[in-house]
């Protein structure tokens, strides 16, 4: 033991103000036992899984489809959540106890730190296991969907091939070219009708220009007086209405479109608000669960910390 009055004890360097330890002074050993932490984490995960399996079995026995006396789905969900929480807390408490006991420490602070290490390791292991489970389920679903899509595509390809073969046998090149040219002429005729008298235009021309004006109304938010008058005349000529009826029909269509846009915006806002509320609730729930888990692990670790025995008296200090 170092004599406090001797020169072998710590002394202060007058130039730098730093404390200089004597040569050969003992260093503090590491008081962290990772073997005990890993053992406690394994015990915690195993007990949690065992109790969750027991809860699943108890929940399955509560289902009685023949007697139609099965609890509601909401009751099942609440009961399952409470059971999972209790199971994990019990597992963490036992894991913290095991880690503190196996570490051999007699210091409550060291035991508490071992319990926190078990808590963190257990949650990391659970996250890895859950991630692998989700990845496995996703991989299985994607594989099944790919096989299904491949089978459907193969069948569709066979059907299209058969239909194409029949069509090729019944249709010659001249007929196809004539049909395609007719469609092109029809589109060109619809586009060439802009600016003409609606009464002198055909139905395709009127509908094409009406579509252009409606698109302009949606994108710009408003039509100029000239465009609105043109749209009223097109509607009157297309549906054989007088100017007042055509104007009223256009106004009703605008009101319906405005109401639909308002409802769509309100629905989108409600969905966004619900998503934000759900995310906040889930975050607070995860925080609460992790906090309760840390408390359970600390309590178990402090319980498992070895008591200090006073030498010569046999009593626990």
3-state SS of the chain is CCCCCCCCCCEECCCCCCEECCCCCCCCCCCCCHHHHHHHHHHHHHHHHHHHHHHHHHHHHCCCCCCCCCCCHHHHHHHHHHHHHHHHHHHHHHHHHHHHHHHCCCCHHHHHHHHHHHHHHHHHHHHHHHHHHHHHHHHHHHHHHHHHHHHHHHHHHHHHHHHHHHHHHHCCHHHHHHHHHHHHHHHHHHHCCCCCCHHHCCHHHHHHHHHHHHHHHHHHCCCCHHHHHHHHHHHHHHHCCCHHHHHHHHHHHHHHHHHHHHHHHHHHHHHHHHHHHHHHHHHHHHHHHHHHHHHHHHHHHHHHCCCCECCCCCCEC
Q: Are 42 and 129 contained in the same domain?
A: yes
Q: Are 41 and 131 contained in the same domain?
A: yes
The answer on pLDDT for 69 being more than 80 is no
Q: Are 71 and 123 contained in the same domain?
A: yes
Which has the higher per-residue pLDDT, 183 or 268? 268
* Cα gap 308→59, rounded to integer Å: 45
Residue 135 lies in a domain: yes
Q: How many domains are there within the chain?
A: 2
Which pLDDT value is given to residue 5?
A: 44
Mean pLDDT computed over 73-99: 88
Q: Are 36 and 117 contained in the same domain?
A: yes
Lowest mean pLDDT among 26-35, 84-93, 307-316: 307-316
Mean pLDDT computed over 147-176: 58
Residue 290 lies in a domain: no
Mean pLDDT computed over 222-250: 83
* pLDDT (tens digit per residue) in 269-314: 999 999 999 999 989 988 999 999 999 999 999 999 988 655 554 5
Residue 231 lies in a domain: yes
Which has the higher per-residue pLDDT, 220 or 288? 288
Residue 310 lies in a domain: no
* Cα gap 83→77, rounded to integer Å: 10
Q: Are 52 and 122 contained in the same domain?
A: yes
Q: Are 127 and 200 contained in the same domain?
A: no
Residue 51 lies in a domain: yes
Mean pLDDT computed over 201-224: 79
Average of per-residue pLDDT values in the chain: 76
Percent of the chain whose predicted confidence (pLDDT) is above 90: 25
Mean pLDDT computed over 170-181: 59
Both structure tokens of 117: 């290490």
Mean pLDDT computed over 227-248: 83
Among candidate residues 213, 235, 251, the one where a domain is terminated? 251
Residue 103 lies in a domain: yes
Q: Which of 47, 44, 129, 43 is nearest to 92 (CA)?
A: 44
Q: Are 126 and 48 contained in the same domain?
A: yes
Residue 194 lies in a domain: yes
The answer on pLDDT for 1 being more than 50 is no
In which residue are the tokens 């015990």 written? 43
The answer on pLDDT for 149 being more than 80 is no
Q: Are 201 and 133 contained in the same domain?
A: no
Among candidate residues 214, 231, 251, the one where a domain is terminated? 251
Q: Are 116 and 55 contained in the same domain?
A: yes
* Cα gap 109→42, rounded to integer Å: 22
Mean pLDDT computed over 162-188: 58
Residue 208 lies in a domain: yes
The answer on pLDDT for 316 being more than 60 is no
Residue 161: which pLDDT band, with cuts at 50, 70 and 90?
low
Residue-range definition of the domain harbouring residue 48? 31-140
Q: Which of 108, 122, 121 is nearest to 31 (CA)?
A: 108
Among 82-96, 161-175, 250-264, the range with the most confident prediction by mean pLDDT is 82-96
């Amino acid at each position: 033991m170092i004599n406090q009055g001797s020169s072998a004890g710590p002394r202060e360097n007058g130039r730098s103000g730093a404390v200089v330890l004597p040569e050969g002074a003992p260093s503090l050993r590491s008081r962290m036992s990772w073997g005990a932490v890993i053992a406690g984490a394994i015990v915690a995960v195993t007990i949690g899984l065992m109790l969750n399996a027991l809860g699943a079995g108890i929940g399955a026995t509560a289902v009685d489809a023949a007697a139609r006396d099965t609890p509601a789905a909401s009751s099942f969900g609440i009961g399952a959540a409470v059971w999972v929480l209790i199971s994990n807390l019990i597992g963490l408490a036992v894991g913290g106890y095991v880690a503190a006991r196996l570490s051999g420490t007699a210091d409550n602070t060291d035991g508490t730190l071992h319990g926190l290490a078990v808590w963190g390791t257990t949650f990391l292991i659970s996250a890895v296991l859950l991630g692998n489970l989700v990845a496995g389920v996703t991989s299985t679903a994607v594989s099944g969907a790919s096989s299904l899509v491949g089978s459907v595509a193969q069948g569709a390809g066979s059907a299209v091939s058969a239909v194409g073969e029949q069509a090729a046998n019944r249709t010659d090149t001249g007929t196809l070219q004539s049909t395609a040219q007719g469609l092109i002429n029809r589109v060109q005729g619809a586009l060439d009708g802009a600016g003409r008298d609606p009464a002198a235009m055909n139905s395709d021309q009127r509908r094409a220009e009406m579509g252009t004006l409606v698109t302009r109304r949606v994108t710009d938010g408003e039509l100029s007086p000239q465009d609105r008058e043109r749209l009223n005349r097109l509607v009157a000529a297309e549906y054989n209405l007088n100017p007042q009826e055509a104007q009223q029909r256009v106004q009703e269509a605008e009101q319906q479109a405005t109401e639909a846009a308002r409802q769509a915006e309100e629905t989108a806002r409600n969905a966004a608000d619900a998503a934000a509320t759900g995310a906040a609730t889930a975050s607070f729930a995860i925080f609460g669960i992790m906090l309760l888990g840390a408390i359970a692990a600390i309590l178990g670790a402090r319980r498992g910390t070895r008591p200090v025995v006073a030498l010569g008296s046999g009593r626990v200090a």
